[in-house]
Amino acid sequence: MKIDILYEDDYCICVNKPHDVLVHHGKFSRNNADENSLLQLLEQQFGEKYYPVHRLDRRTSGVILLARQTTDVATFQKLFTDQEIQKTYYAVVRGFAPEQQYIDSPVKGKDAKAYKDAITELTLLKTISLDIPVGRYDTSRYSLVKLAPKTGRMHQLRIHMKKISHPIIGDGKYGDHRHDAMYVEQFGWKNLFLHAGSLSFTHPFSQEVLHINAPFSEDWNALFLKFGWRNPIGS
């Protein structure tokens, strides 16, 4: 599996993580002894070790930032803790989402003992109604949304979308299995439709202002074509 580099310099790299790839093996991941993590794939491909600054769920695709040296990880992580980095995600969700919504429902992660504040800003981009029955309805409705998380809790976006009754398509844990099954049966699309589309930040060492986009995968591009939706970040 070839990993595409989106940006690199002497301090960090940004890569486009494929769907269904672990960033690294850990106690909360579904580990498989024969499965390579993103870090292992990168080491095999480039002969170097890299160190993740943040995380993406296994089934979430898109841009992820990694440091070249362990000593620089904390410097890059400070961008996240100080909210000096802008993260933009895209998701396909069930139903017609609101034009704008500020979601501030607390989230409890797997390893957390208490709920923590979590904030997500939602912007509606596109909607579609399909003449495909799901459950008791004769048609099915979906939305393309842009999500800007202001905090970084585990499964935050997936939980927040379920909370407002617009679960993400392909989300086996928090989603609607009837709609997920329809996407597989009708279109052959099996992935979670959640993509980390971009990171924007001022480089802590070079002071360069960076805006890094991650292209969508084949399933996403097939969906855009099928639904007549414009790709929001280009090819």
Q: What is the pLDDT of residues 24-54, one digit of tens each?
A: 876 544 555 578 899 999 999 999 999 999 9
Residue identified by tokens 């999500």 is 147
**Which amino acid would we find at residue 232?**
P
The pLDDT value given to residue 44: 95
The pLDDT value given to residue 136: 87
Least Cα distance to 87 among 144, 147, 17, 38 occurs for: 147
Helices (H) then strands (E): counts for the chain: 5, 10
Task: For residues 7 and 16, give the distance between their C-alpha atoms in angstroms, rounded to a whole number.
Answer: 10
Region for 223 from its dihedrals, namely left if φ exceeds 0, alpha if ψ lies in -120 to 50, beta otherwise: alpha
Task: Could you list the beta-strand ranges (E) of the chain.
Answer: 4-8, 12-17, 51-52, 61-67, 85-94, 100-103, 120-130, 140-149, 194-202, 209-213
The pLDDT value given to residue 71: 96
- Average pLDDT (210-221) is 96
Per-residue pLDDT of 145-190, as tens digits, reads: 999 999 988 899 999 999 999 999 999 999 999 999 999 999 999 9
Instruction: Spot the catalytic one: 9, 20, 34, 57.
Output: 57
Q: Which residues contact 201 (CB under 8 A, 6 or more apart)?
A: 79, 84, 85, 86, 209, 210
- DSSP-derived letter for residue 214 is -
Is 20 a catalytic site residue? no
CATH of domain 4-227: 3.30.2350.10
Angstrom CA distances, 168 to 27, 83, 124, stand at: 25, 25, 14
Q: 3-state SS of the chain: helix, strand, coil percent to 5?
A: 20, 30, 45
Per-residue pLDDT of 1-25, as tens digits, reads: 899 999 999 999 999 999 999 998 7
Residue 235 confidence (pLDDT) above 60 = no
Residue ranges of alpha helices (H) inside 16-149 are 38-46, 73-81
Q: Which residues contact 100 (CB under 8 A, 6 or more apart)?
A: 121, 122, 123, 124
**Contact status, residue 12 vs residue 67, Cβ threshold 8 Å:** yes
Per-residue pLDDT of 89-118, as tens digits, reads: 999 999 999 999 999 999 986 666 788 899
